[in-house]
Structure 1
């Protein structure tokens, strides 16, 4: 497994998104999935206090157990769904961190990420308390999530010399959602900030399980969503068919294309995809081995929708 940098952290190019833990799978199945990830060379695990109301962190911590030192654990704070006291205020951040440490069963977080910008708190205040937590040894690196290019720039500009800085941003990015190309990726490159794409498989649409003219497979994520799902449009399914044809003409799968296309971006550090079964973990871990040529990337640009 190739590794890339998030600040001082060496993370696997394929990571594991943990939002299924406690929501779609129980503690026993979580242990199987986490064990499969570690055995496949995946060391980067991304969760959040808001996932399954804290159960994701609990299940992940329990699953890692004595293998904690093999893992780079990333979690997030400050999502409005975490409760009325969540956000970027220093007292809220300190409280959130202690809760995450307790649920994860660890005394440090490798990458502590602000889940969403807080419009009610100056970013300098939030960065100040995060710097304290880094200096106290409770956090190794700090990151952001759902930040715009302007917000990334502002966070960098208010930092005092020597203070901890955001070393990553985690935003939605996939073959079907290219908005980060409209400014965020360029700002990351300028600032030396790693980019972590979430929903890299567009909720499973880019796995190849969903085909035009065929019923939605039962038990899948999209099958559990409301009818007239905005992802399962005729336009998207047409695009999926074109991407499958592109991949298969080169001896690869759509899953391999989804991972490898993201990893062709130099700012992308790790592609985090969720999994509910060990077989999915093994497939994801193996999917990043296709090095796309410049000609491949140019042809894909003629197929893919341009970012807005």
Structure 2
């Protein structure tokens, strides 16, 4: 039977989420990849054990994570019902609704019908009584924000979520829905944007809004689907995401477009005595609006390596200037759907 590391809280920073009372571990575990029905449950369990042993308390799901959609929640539920069950109150578990989950007009987007039904399904799959955070996964251009916000508010009032969040909303959309949440008295505390060295638009558009509204962010895709690691420095491995047709957000052309930039960034990381992945995570955490950064892993050793980023979170002015110069030299990157 698993027994958690008794010293797990010693070295992990825990950051307050906006002006709420909640704190998140500086790194959270994202279950988007490697936790589906096609993945080994023993490996999944070992990854979650490793993460918790290192002080990671934030675990991030969504209704459609898999493959197949829903299977990440089911597998996480199996692990929670087993030897993680005694630690439920030490975990912050989140899920989301908003991307396509089931056929027909109600399994997608942000209507009250879709969000409430999706949250109920997610609770059944995970076997949980409630989520600590439940997110609207993306804005719905055809549904009033008042309806989406009202659905999330209803989840809290029904005891199905403690806090609510949004993801992939731009600055103006965030400001608008914040007003609605404020009027409803909803505990809206967090935004989940894509943020990494190659995706910085949120610094100008979103982060000033979060700061003004006293909210925080948890960043996803900090390693840009593996581009910001040493994985592609010497070619594209056969088993990498860039070679897998099932992963729609990274393709070989992006590797080619960023290779020289990645090499230069890797040199900066080496001078900091970090891997490129560790520096990329630390770079995200330098941002005051960021409370936590999500990491992914296909094996426990990757979790430990990523947590190593916390050993050096400080950047000198010269390092930040050099990183900005390197990124300024990077030409346009094709981020189209593939």
Deviations 1:144-189 (A, max 9, x none): 0110001001102234535115321112111111121231111111
Unmatched runs of 5 consecutive residues or more in structure 2: 1-11, 333-338
Which residue number in structure 1 is paired with residue 217 of structure 2?
195
Which residue number in structure 2 is paired with residue 296 of structure 1?
319
Which residue number in structure 2 is paired with residue 238 of structure 1?
260
User: Which stretch has the larger CA shift, 123-132 or 102-111?
Assistant: 123-132
Shift of 1:215: 2.6
User: Which stretch has the larger CA shift, 128-137 or 96-105?
Assistant: 128-137
Structure 2 residue matching 1:112: 3-state secondary structure: strand
Shift of 1:288: 2.5
Q: Judging changes above 3 Å, is the alpha-carbon distance between structure 1 residues 31 and 96 closer, same or farther for their aligned structure 2 residues?
A: same
| Aligned match for 1:10, one of 23, 29, 45 | 23
Counterpart mapping for 1:215-230 below 5 A: 215-225=235-245, 229-230=252-253
Q: Is 1:55 aligned to 2:55, yes or no?
A: no
Counterpart mapping for 1:177-192 below 5 A: 177-192=199-214
Shift of 1:199: 0.9
The question of whether the paired residues in 1 share the 8 Å contact of 2:243 and 2:252 is answered with: no
The question of whether the paired residues in 2 share the 8 Å contact of 1:88 and 1:126 is answered with: yes
Unmatched runs of 5 consecutive residues or more in structure 1: none
Please give the TM-score of this superposition, normalised by the length of structure 1.
0.92
User: Which stretch has the larger CA shift, 274-283 or 151-160?
Assistant: 151-160
Aligned counterparts of 1:228 and 1:112: Cα–Cα separation in 2: 31
Which residue number in structure 2 is paired with residue 39 of structure 1?
53
Shift of 1:289: 2.5
Q: How many residues align?
A: 305
Please give the TM-score of this superposition, normalised by the length of structure 2.
0.84
Aligned counterparts of 1:23 and 1:295: Cα–Cα separation in 2: 46
The question of whether the paired residues in 1 share the 8 Å contact of 2:134 and 2:163 is answered with: yes
Shift of 1:135: 2.2
**Which protein, 1 or 2, shows the higher relative CO under an 8 Å CA cutoff with sep ≥ 6?**
1
The question of whether the paired residues in 2 share the 8 Å contact of 1:41 and 1:285 is answered with: no
Please report the RMSD computed on the Cα atoms of aligned residues, expressed in angstroms: 2.1
The question of whether the paired residues in 1 share the 8 Å contact of 2:181 and 2:188 is answered with: no
Deviations 1:282-306 (A, max 9, x none): 1112223212123322222222249
